[in-house]
Structures are given as structure tokens and as C-alpha cells.
Amino acid sequence: MSCLHDHSCEEHDCSTDWSLYKHIDLSKVSALNEAVSGSVKSVFKDWEQRLNSSEGYLESNEDDPELIVFIPFTSDVKLKSISIVGGADGTSPAKMRAFINREGIDFSDAQNMQAVQEWDLAENLQGVLEYQTRYSRFQSVGNITLHFPVNFGGDASTTQIHYIGLKGEATQLKRDVVATIVYEITPNPSDHKTRAETGGSLSHVE
């Protein structure tokens, strides 16, 4: 499938650019106000498949165009740009607001909080438009929440999203990883001798 960007695509492979979807923790992806529970997972796929909605797409409930998508990553990422493919007939989202590293955001939170960045979207049925981020703010993203408050209106009573593409770099760092912790109800000081107590750092050779 040829890339419709206005540059020649032989230099790079668009598919590899948009490969940040591989670093998404798909089991923990969730959405609020989705009509079919679990359908949000179908929007994260390879660039080449972005127009292929045979496995379902994300649609909001009747008469309610708002959507919130929560995307956690398996390691911290640096997010460069985002691409959204919406539905036809005005069901594409018109605005997008992003929140970083916050869990459990629901609609009242999203409406009251200041987003890290907001974009006005255009209808992008071929998936060629990308929306760049303020890179300095998106340097270590453990999870991102996207809020789509309105769609393009008209006859559309729902919002449809067929593809969400993320471009950037994955670092190997992980957030909030807890190492093995040993809980002691009655700690015994003799188990935790410090260096000073054991007679300093000089070694003996007998």
C-alpha cells in the first residue's frame, strides 16, 4: 500500500515509524462510554492496517459523542505525534485533549482539568494527517489518556474511531516497578547488620 504523504516514501518505511503500538499494554487499555465493551483494543494496529476495520472499531454510545481512551505503555515512551482515523458522516472526532501519567480519569475530571495539550482535528479518513506534540512535554510518558469531547456533528449521534497511531521512541525505562520487597512484622536488627557494625570494610586474610 503506497504512502500518501507528500514526500517520497522510499527513504523510510512509514510502517516502522508508527510502530509505537507495539509498546502499548493492550490488556490494560480501556475506554469510557464505548458502546461495545473491549472494542477499544481494535484501534491499535499496524500502520498498514489502519483503514481495515474488519475487526471492529471504537464507537461511543447513542446520543453521546464523548469518548475517553486510556492507553498505558509497557515502558516509558517519548511521543512525537498522533494520527487519528475517524468515521464518515460527521462521526469523526473534532477535538482531542491529552493527559499524561494520570490514572482513572473520568468525564467530570476530564472536563475540569487542564489538558497537557489540545488539538483541533480535521476529518482524516485516509489516515494521512498527523498531529504533532509539544515534544518537551511528552518525554517520559507511562500512560496517556485521550479525551474526545465532540464530533463533527450533522446527523452523527455517535463518535467513531477506527485507528489511533502513535509515533515516537520507546525508552527501556519502566515506571513504578516495585522490586522484591520483604515485609517484616518483627524486624530483627541482627539480620540487618550494617558495614560499620561488622567491623568496617577491611578484609582479613587468615
Write out the residues near another protein by the rule CB under 8 A: 32-33, 37, 61, 64, 66, 103-104, 106-107
All three cell numbers of 203, joined, read 578484609
For the CB of residue 38, give the shortest distance to another protein in the complex, in Å: 10
In the complex with another protein, the residue whose CB is nearer, 33 or 81, is 33
Q: Which positions ≥6 away from 89 have C-beta within 8 Å?
A: 154, 155, 156
Which is closer to another protein, CB of 45 or CB of 147? 147
Cβ–Cβ under 8 Å, residues 23 and 170:
yes
- For residue 33, the minimal CB distance to another protein (Å) is 5
Closest CA relative to residue 23, chosen from 101, 76, 84, 82: 76
Which letter does DSSP use for residue 6 in this model? S
Q: CB of 26 within 8 A of CB of 74?
A: no
Cβ at position 108, least distance to another protein in Å? 8
Q: Least distance in Å: CB of 75 to another protein? A: 19
Of 104 and 200, the one with the shorter C-beta distance to another protein is 104
Cβ nearer to another protein, comparing 36 with 173:
36
